[in-house]
Structure formats: C-alpha cells, structure tokens
A and B are shown apart, each in its own frame.
Chain A
Amino acid sequence: MNVNSNASIIEVQDLTRVFGNFTAVDRISFEVRRGEIFGFLGANGAGKTTAIRMLTGLLIPTSGRAEVAGFDVFTHPESIKKNIGYMSQKFSLFNDLTVFENLRFYGGIYGLSTRDIRHKTDELLERLDLAGVRDRLIRDLPLGWKQKLAFSTAVIHEPAIVFLDEPTGGVDPITRRQFWDLMYETADRGTTVFVTTHYMDEAEYCDRVSIMVDGRIDALGTPAGLRKTYGAKNVDEVFVKLARGGSV
C-alpha cells in the first residue's frame, strides 16, 4: 500500500467506470507526485468528472486500481475523504453565511478545533488581504474574492491533495492569475493540486498535464514535453490535435 508513497500521492492503474453499456472512463493509468500541480484536461464529456468522482470516493470504480493519499478507493473511501480538499465547479460557499461562518463550518466538518479555526481564519484573511470582510456575507463579495475564499476554504484543513474542478470558470484574467498564485503557494506548502480546466493557457502553468479524450488518457507529460512530442506551439494545439485524432 505504501509503495512509492514518498514520490506519488495518487496512483491509478487501468481505472474504469462503466454506466450501463457506456464506458465513461476507459482503463486510465497515471500517477501524481506529491506537491505538484497536476492539470487534468479534456473536453466536456471526456470523462474528467467521472474520474474525479472516483478519486474523491464519491463513485465506486467498475474495475482497475487507484490509491489516493495512500488509501484504496475501493476499500477506504472514507479515509480518502479526510485527506483531501475539494472545490466544485459550482460555487461551494454558502451565500447567506459570513466569511468566518463558512470557514468555521468547513473547518468543523474536517475536524479542526475551534481555536485552530480562529487561528487559521485570521492567518488566511491576512494573507488574502481580506481581513476587513471577516463578518460580511459571502453574497455581498465580488466574484474574484469569493473564488479565492472558496479555494482557501477547500484547503483550510491542510489536506494532502486538493481537487479543483474547473475552479476558474467565469473569472476575469487578473483574478485567474491571482488564483494560480494561490495554487502555487499551496503546492509549495506541500499540498498536491489536482486541477481540471477548460483554459488551455492555464495548462501551461501546471507541472504536468494529462489530456483525456473519450474516456482515455491520450497524452501525459510536462507542458514542454507535450509540445515537443506533438510538434505544437502550445498545449492548446496538442489538445486540438488529439481531439481531432480521436474523432476521425
């Protein structure tokens, strides 16, 4: 179970999920190293969400093998849940609660003590330069701030891995840039970041990316490596080539 656990935090081997006679995820294999930012790319319907749901313990795989933070997705989904953070593509904070109430709630369900929650909240708001909005309702904040808060909430318990499902959808370029800075900081503190995105320019910021087409992982490597392999100017071109290749 702990083979290579120093190096890799997610290990996936031939992971498959079948719904009826539709294979949403088709024998994907990859590993994610501790502390890296791993970009999980793919068009809509390529199977990204299904894969994430299996890795976060929400969905039981049909076959294959996967370990997340050292725990098997088949046998210990509950232990996985304790060791990961998650931010969905929909907004994950409660609009009618204040910033602090949101942090207290999420800190609480991840088992943080009241004192820890207070301490971390202060530290976090200081870092985000949002100390003034501690007791403001989320609904009154600008989208960019909310997004940053949602991310900080997802990592308030310092999980081994944080899963981000299209975290930057609908956010302006400057905020997106700031958001990536936050992700880098988080990765530097040792939390592995597993992120899906639509924006191919963002793929360039990742340490490594995988590209999913029709339920399979067709390419995996560093952005530079992929560009070289496929003779492309950027990851976007790689993606287009793969997607075309898949559909022809």
Chain B
Amino acid sequence: MKAFWGFIKKEFLHIFRDRRTLLILFGMPLAQLLLFGYAVRNELNRADIAILDHSRDEVTREITGKLLSSGHFQLSAWLESEAEIEEVFQRGIARNVVVFESDFGRKLIREGRADVLIVTDASDPNMAQILEGYTANIIREYQQEWQMRNRMAMSGVGGMTSGAGGLAASGIIPEMRMLFNPELRSANLFVPGLIAFILMLVSAFLTSIAIAREKEMGTMEVLLVSPLDPRQIIAGKVLPYLVLSIVNVFTVLVVALVVFQVPFRGSVILFSLLSLLFIMTALALGLRISNAVRDQQTAMMMSLAGLLLPTILLSGFIFPISNMPVILQYLSHIVPAKWYLIIIRGIMLKGVGLEVLWMEALILLGMMSLLFVVSIKSFKIRLE
C-alpha cells in the first residue's frame, strides 16, 4: 500500500512539473468555457440591421420598432433603394436588411398579404440563418398581434411573405423552429457538452498519453519487473486523473452556474454519480488506447481522432444528432458522450432523474464495464 501511495505521489509530480499537461488540465477548461460563453454565441445581441422601407406607413413603423426594441438588433442604416443593399453588406455596415414593399400597410389590410424581404449576408451562412430566423420570428410575432387586433376586419391573414432568405411564402414558418430550439442557444447548450469534452480530455486523452510516455521512456518495463502488481500500476496511473477530472467538472460547473447562470434543476448526487460513470468510461478508453500504442505521439493522435472529435461532433454537443445522416446517427450510438450528454442535460436543464434517464445510465454502465474488461485484458496480453 505504501508503494502504491509512492506511485500516486510520483504521478502527481509528473503532472505538476509538466507545463503542457497543466495547461491542458487547468487552462483549457476555463478557456473553453469563456470562449464558448462569450465568443461562440448563437443568440443575437444587438446585431446591425438596415431597413429599406418603401412604404413608410404605420405598420412598417411598428414592425421596425419591434425589431429594434427586441434587443437583438440595432439600426445601422436607413436605405433608399435596393442598389444600396450590396454596398451595405460589402462595407460591413449591416448583415441583415429588411425591405418593406410599397403600400405595405394598405395591402395588408386590403388583400390580406404584404411582402417583406429579409436579405442576409450569407458569407457567414450560420450567422445568416440565425439573423434570418430572428427577424422572421419577430415579424411573425407582430403578425399575430396584428391579426388579433384586426380579427374582425381580416380573417385568415396568413400571408406576409418574405423571400431571398428562403422563407416559405405563407403562414407560420416551420423551418425556423429549429433555430429557436431553446436548447440550441446560449450556455444551456454548451455547458453540458463542455463538461463531457473536458472529462474526455482529462480522463482519456491525458491518461493515454501518461501511460504511453512511460512506455516510450522505458520506465514501464522497469515498473513491470518490480514487485508492483500490474493492477496497482494501472490504478496508480489512472487515479490522479480521476481526481483531477472530478475537480475540473465542479470548477466548470460552478463557473457556469455563477457566470453564465446555467440552471441546475436536478439532483447533484445523481449528477456526480453518473459523471463518475462517464469518467470511468473515459479512463477505460484512455487505457485501451495506451495499450495499443508505443509512444506518446500515437496516443495523442488516436485519442484526438478516436475520442475527442467524436465527443465534439457526434455527441450532439454542437450539431444536433437528429439532423445527421442516418449512418452518423447510428454511429453516434457508440459515442459514450452522447449518452452522457442526454443524462446531464436532463439533470441540469430539465431536472429529471433516473426514472427518465435509466436507459442512458444503463448504456453507459454497460459501455464502462465492457471497456474496462477489454482494457485490463489487453494490458495483461502485453505482459505476455
């Protein structure tokens, strides 16, 4: 037991003496959190908008006022003609122009429909979609209010039309909904994903590198010849990272709760237990990788391509799984982070417990057990 503690002590010395490991361990999670929190935002905050109003009547004034008072937009230019739109985009004055046709208000009242054109600068397609979505949504809201007010006069107004951005011609615009999926906005979306990513990074990536380094340096051979039990060697390598993973989760969680006001509606105990399960899964993956490789470089490449990328791309962290091609949807089933994400989003955002999440928890438990058996077996095979 004393030998084992000596091993743990040595492992911590390795970690605290290596600047790169320290940076990944403590710098990266916070940097990621702040980056995602402040820079990579999907919601709009005072985006520049230009208005081209051919009608200048009460209705268009109301719509414009609603757009500008939403907090999402700020007016950067009043345009006089269509010719100016391109220039506005080119000079970066605005990325979004709303064009009201002439006689807008009168047409709306008389014919039940009027055309509004939302033009977005699609050189940044994601941003363009978001802008378009917000604009269309605000106009739709106005339309509903207006309908209420004019119910008697106008039955069945469904037809403010917008074009250029690919909006449908009538009624409620269904394809906008995805953009307004509340889960896809703000910190609520990325904090759970970030926790999964950081756990993968610390538990799997760093562990696999730490073990591979010992092999590369030749010290693993000496350890194996020593009286240390191979299981002690594994545990000694893995335990420090387990502790640091837990520290990291709670740091990120606290920052997310305090700085970004991410809700935490469910049970902290359940969250901790299932996070531990995910950590163990990640550790087993890291172990499996380190058994397969001989040097740090390969370990790094393998965990990057095999673990970190799927955790970002295939877990639903950034891209919704339901929008993926069917093959990728199937593939996402074997990504542990996918299940973990469902679990912690459920606990944090929806406040649900095991009565809802039992299946995901069981899947993770199964993955963890399987991976651990496989990695311990492969460790033994390497001893032969």
Contact = CB atoms under 8 A, between A and B. Distances in A.
Given A88-B222, A94-B14, 14 more contacts: A56-B225, A59-B383, A59-B384, A81-B226, A84-B225, A86-B226, A89-B218, A91-B218, A92-B222, A93-B219, A97-B10, A108-B6, A109-B227, A110-B3
A95 B217 contact: yes
Question: Which of B3, B9, B13, B225 has most A Cβ within 10 Å?
Answer: B225
A188 interface: no
A106 B226 CA distance: 9
Given A60-B384, A96-B17, A109-B226, A101 B218 contact: no
Given A59-B384, A86-B222, A97-B13, A111 B6 contact: no
B335 to A, nearest CB: 34
A149 B225 CA distance: 18
B228 interface: yes
A145 interface: no
Task: Tell me the dominant secondary structure on chain A's binding face.
Answer: loop
Given A58-B225, A105-B6, A110-B226, A96 B14 contact: yes
A78 B227 contact: yes
Interface string B339-373: 00000000000000000000000000000000000
B221 interface: yes
Interface string A210-233: 000000000000000000000000
Interface residues of B, number: 23
A90 B223 CA distance: 13
Given A96-B13, A105-B10, A109-B3, A81 B217 contact: no
Interface of A: 56-60, 78, 81-82, 84, 86-97, 101, 104-106, 108-111, 154, 163
B2 to A, nearest CB: 6
Nearest to A113: B2
14 contacts: A58-B224, A86-B222, A87-B222, A88-B221, A90-B218, A94-B217, A94-B219, A96-B18, A97-B14, A105-B7, A109-B227, A110-B3, A111-B2, A163-B225
A58 B383 contact: yes
A96 B222 CA distance: 17
Contacts of A105: 6-7, 9-10
A82 B222 contact: no
Contact of B227 (A58, A59, A92, A111): A111
B219 A108 contact: no
A81 B227 contact: yes
Nearest to B3: A109
A152 to B, nearest CB: 14
Contacts of A96: 13-14, 17-18
A101 B384 contact: no
Contacts of B18: 96
A91 B13 contact: no
Interface in B74-116: none
Contacts of B226: 81, 86, 106, 109-110
By Cβ-Cβ distance, the 8 closest A-B pairs, closest first, are: A90-B218, A108-B6, A86-B225, A109-B3, A92-B222, A96-B17, A81-B227, A88-B221
A82 B224 CA distance: 12
Nearest to B229: A78
Interface string B114-152: 000000000000000000000000000000000000000
Interface in B262-278: none
A59 B221 CA distance: 12
A58 B2 CA distance: 23
A94 B225 contact: no
A82 B218 contact: no
A154 B223 CA distance: 11
A92 B214 CA distance: 10
B74 to A, nearest CB: 53
Interface in B217-258: 217-219, 221-228
Contact of A90 (B10, B13, B221, B227): B221
B218 A88 contact: yes
A92 B219 contact: yes
Question: Which of B18, B221, B222 has most A Cβ within 10 Å?
Answer: B222
A163 B221 CA distance: 12
Contacts of A110: 3, 226-227
B295 to A, nearest CB: 12
B3 A108 contact: yes
